[in-house]
Structure 1
Amino acid sequence: MKVVLTKPLPLDAESDADYKAPNLLNRILSLFKNVRPGSDLTSFQLPPLFNFPKSHLQCYGESVYCIGSDLLSQCNRAESSLDRFTSVVAWCISTVRPVVFGVAPYNPILGETHHVSSGSLNVLLEQVSHHPPVSALHATDEKENLEIIWCQYAVPKFYGASVEAVVRGKRQLKLLSRAETYEMNSPKLSIRFLPVPGADWVGNVKIKCPENGLEADLCYGATSFLGLRGNLKSINGKIYETSTKKTLYEVNGQWDRTVKVKDISNGKVTVIYNAKEVISGLKTVAVKDLEGVWASESTAVWGELSEAILSKDWDKAREAKKIVEEKQRKLLRERESRGETWVPKHFTANSTKDGDWDCSPIQTLVPPAPLVVPF
């Protein structure tokens, strides 16, 4: 088993040598020459040249366990409900990470897992569906008495000069000692080819907690005066009471710099999020127990391919990716011949009437992982 561990995406991911995309705009556009505008790209396969050495599962997981400041503990330890809610807003912002234009993570295979511990926080992800590609995340921290449950999948569509990926699914952060559940969604990912290539998070995010009666509306990549496009990394919004709609805090800033809240009652401005503290200097996950690594682990499933991409051996990369894909097709044929359907190992997963998905962890607690974030 070859486990290949890659460093987390840094704040300045576009300039990172390992993940920086070569000048591939013409090649990228050529990929979509036979794709109609408005087409769903969920099943679209990229050649290895357009991948960077990570699975989507790893990227989702890193947004939870790779963090420079202990924002989760702050969520739990704040005494007032408003302070806890504001801390959750800051943590929600921290899960938005840099995107590198021109390259993308691997599409996880069915049953792929990613299991990592960071201190007392244990995180487990599983790919619970392949069509559509649904990823589930469960994280628990017994010390802080909190739990995270995500179920999400991206629906990318091609619009001629851009691709927009709507990230569907529900995200929950549970502060168990406070008996509070915070629900939130994810912004959309916008990838532009013309006139200026780039990738940014855009759209609206709502965070709400029924138990303390508070909500937040955040707008990523907000428009400026007269409706013109403003700073694409900006965040504007508010924190307010659910029952009265009374605004308590105004929120503004940039998710790649700082985000502040302004107390409406007294005008006081406070920085609640500093991207340099949260996303800079992140440490690469290390192997603590190689024998404990599952065969379904992302870093093992894609180990040969990641190694080839990092060494820019594209012939080897194509062969490694082909081996993984052919193995999956073979397993699918075998299941179909036996009349079997895939059942996730760590989650129950069901599609809902509105076309969304609901994922629930089977275990109450996530066990410590064989892969760990070094102190």
Structure 2
Amino acid sequence: MGSPKKNEESKGFFAAMSSGLSMFSNAMHRSVNGMLGYEGVEVVNPEGGKDDAEEEAQRGRWRQEERDSYWKMMQKYIGSDVTSMVTLPVIIFEPMTMLQKMAELMEYSYLLDRADESEDPYMRLVYASSWAISVYFAYQRTWKPFNPILGETYEMANHGAITFLAEQVSHHPPMSAGHAENEHFTYDVTSKLKTKFLGNSVDVYPVGRTRVTLKRDGVVLDLVPPPTKVHNLIFGRTWIDSPGEMIMTNLTTGDKAVLYFQPCGWFGTGRYEVDGYIYNSSEEPKILMTGKWNERMSYQPCDSDGEPLPETEMKEVWHVADVPPNDKFQYTYFAHKINSFDTVPGKLLASDSRLRPDRYALEMGDLSKAGNEKSSLEEKQRAEKKTREAKGHNFKPRWFDLTEEVTPTPWGDLEIYQYNGKYTEHRAAVDNSGSIEGDVKSIEFNPWQYGNLSTE
């Protein structure tokens, strides 16, 4: 395909691109998109062979004409942050929200328990950094989670004695805050995703702050994850990669884990691979780590040059749990647990993600209803915002407070929200009131908070 002339309009450029891709597609074998399931240009499949692609086709929901229409719509957004400015069709979604996606980090929370129990400061980082890596197995799913409604929440109980709560604290820009706790650790996160749409791919920058406090000694760990890139968003087989450094720093001692996520090369070389070291406060390597974020991580003590110590061996610290075969959305057992009403306390907050009618309709396979419910929720959100602004009121989260702290990240400054402890009091009051009769699924989804704000 030749380059467009310099004086051509951008419309002509995209027409030329589409024409060239169409011609190329006719000359290639069939390929399927892992997220959308359409025919398109054949691309290198980082997962491997043809059988895998054919299996993905059985899960596809997006027809080629729908893909072409979407491509025309998205052309004008190239180079933009599309985090919340684009209304997306429900057929590309999974029946889970971003708040629930945040909770997937808790699947292997036992690694944080072990970090808290460990007396070796470097092994603490081995356990804790492996915990941070473990969630990437879930992140490789290419379905998109629903954007939370302002004021929406997600709570989880009955997993590792953890209480987990997340809340959507801002709509523009979209921001979420989360808190989890058990006897070994507390976990606090403020998340503000930033994206850059590049046509057939999108870069995702994790503008956030993640802090883990290990309770036994009060050690505070800070996590900076690598950015993520979604490849073949429209043409080809969609896949996700996260090349770059993950850094976890012990803010108490100065020790740190620096782990490099290898980029996926031609024919899948380097795919999933992670390598790096645990360093002391003097930046001397103490433990080397290696593995694949979709399989397992291992560690071995090393010398000051990073070479394995004699008479030591590589030991596994974490491996992926068994997963359901041929799952429609490529969910793990834990992901199904996140969507289940079995992981809720006796009475569920009406703002909980599980109760969203669009999410539930999609889970039941009713795409038409899911799309209509999604549009209805978005309209209600806009109406509430209009009314609130007309009254001169500001939105105020229920369970997290905006602090005066602004912290720098590699991708921009971040305002910090802090858990205010009110949910703990609320839950204790509910538990003391006795069990609530009735089906929890019958609770009407209600994240709207303007009524409460107007009385303050």
- TM-score, normalised to structure 1, is 0.83
Residue 336 of structure 1, CA deviation:
0.8
CA distance, structure 1, for counterparts of residue 113 and residue 354 of structure 2 = 28
CA distance, structure 1, for counterparts of residue 236 and residue 417 of structure 2 = 39
CA distance, structure 1, for counterparts of residue 290 and residue 181 of structure 2 = 30
| Corresponding residue for residue 79 of structure 1 | 119
Compared CA separation, residues 57 and 288, structure 1 to 2 (3 A): closer
CA distance, structure 1, for counterparts of residue 423 and residue 225 of structure 2 = 25
- Please tell me whether the aligned partners of residues 264 and 272 of structure 2 are also in contact (alpha carbons under 8 angstroms): no
- Please tell me whether the aligned partners of residues 35 and 158 of structure 1 are also in contact (alpha carbons under 8 angstroms): no
* Larger gyration radius, structure 1 or structure 2: 2
Pairs within 5 Å for 1:19-98? 20-22=59-61, 27-28=66-67, 30-33=69-72, 34-43=75-84, 44-64=86-106, 66-67=107-108, 70-98=110-138
| Corresponding residue for residue 7 of structure 1 | none
Compared CA separation, residues 223 and 74, structure 1 to 2 (3 A): same
- Please tell me whether the aligned partners of residues 214 and 241 of structure 1 are also in contact (alpha carbons under 8 angstroms): yes
- Partner SS state of residue 333, structure 1: helix
| Corresponding residue for residue 377 of structure 2 | 324
**Deviation string for 1:16-60 (max 9, x for gaps)?**
99x955355774564243334311111222111111111100111
Q: Which amino acid aligns with 1:272?
A: V
- Equivalent of 1:134 in 163, 175, 182: 175
Residue 160 of structure 1, CA deviation:
2.1
CA distance, structure 1, for counterparts of residue 54 and residue 116 of structure 2 = 35
RMSD: 3.2
2:186 aligned with 1:147: yes
Q: Which amino acid aligns with 1:130?
A: H
Residue 320 of structure 1, CA deviation:
0.9
2:352 aligned with 1:297: yes
CA distance, structure 2, for counterparts of residue 100 and residue 210 of structure 1 = 30
CA distance, structure 1, for counterparts of residue 230 and residue 121 of structure 2 = 37
| Percent identity for Structure 1 against Structure 2 | 24
Pairs within 5 Å for 1:283-294? 284=337, 285-287=340-342, 292-294=347-349
Residue 343 of structure 1, CA deviation:
0.9
2:265 aligned with 1:239: no
- Partner SS state of residue 356, structure 1: strand
CA distance, structure 1, for counterparts of residue 54 and residue 287 of structure 2 = 35
The 10-residue stretch of structure 1 (269-278 or 155-164) with the greater mean CA deviation from structure 2: 269-278
2:389 aligned with 1:336: yes
Pairs within 5 Å for 1:172-251? 172-193=211-232, 196-222=237-263, 230-243=269-282, 245-251=283-289
**Deviation string for 1:151-178 (max 9, x for gaps)?**
1121111112211111111101101221
**More helix by percentage:** 2
Compared CA separation, residues 233 and 174, structure 1 to 2 (3 A): same
**Deviation string for 1:71-97 (max 9, x for gaps)?**
221111112212222111111112324
| Corresponding residue for residue 345 of structure 1 | 398
2:354 aligned with 1:273: no
Pairs within 5 Å for 1:111-130? 111-117=151-157, 118-130=159-171
CA distance, structure 2, for counterparts of residue 232 and residue 30 of structure 1 = 32
- Equivalent of 1:359 in 417, 423, 429: 417
CA distance, structure 1, for counterparts of residue 179 and residue 419 of structure 2 = 7
- Partner SS state of residue 319, structure 1: helix
Higher relative CO (Cα under 8 Å, sequence separation at least 6) belongs to 1
Q: Which runs of 5+ in 1 are unaligned?
A: 1-11, 371-375
- Please tell me whether the aligned partners of residues 400 and 417 of structure 2 are also in contact (alpha carbons under 8 angstroms): yes
- Partner SS state of residue 318, structure 2: strand
- Please tell me whether the aligned partners of residues 147 and 176 of structure 1 are also in contact (alpha carbons under 8 angstroms): yes
- Equivalent of 1:256 in 294, 299, 319: 294
Q: Which amino acid aligns with 1:156?
A: T
Q: Which runs of 5+ in 2 are unaligned?
A: 1-46, 48-52, 304-308, 324-330, 431-456
Q: Which amino acid aligns with 1:191?
A: V
- Partner SS state of residue 172, structure 1: strand
CA distance, structure 1, for counterparts of residue 55 and residue 397 of structure 2 = 35
CA distance, structure 1, for counterparts of residue 142 and residue 77 of structure 2 = 20
Compared CA separation, residues 26 and 262, structure 1 to 2 (3 A): farther
Compared CA separation, residues 184 and 353, structure 1 to 2 (3 A): closer
- Please tell me whether the aligned partners of residues 99 and 200 of structure 1 are also in contact (alpha carbons under 8 angstroms): no
Between Structure 1 and Structure 2, how many residues are aligned? 349
CA distance, structure 2, for counterparts of residue 22 and residue 100 of structure 1 = 18
CA distance, structure 2, for counterparts of residue 221 and residue 26 of structure 1 = 35
The 10-residue stretch of structure 1 (165-174 or 184-193) with the greater mean CA deviation from structure 2: 184-193
CA distance, structure 1, for counterparts of residue 346 and residue 122 of structure 2 = 45
- Please tell me whether the aligned partners of residues 346 and 362 of structure 1 are also in contact (alpha carbons under 8 angstroms): yes
**Deviation string for 1:250-293 (max 9, x for gaps)?**
22210111112232141531112211369964362334778621
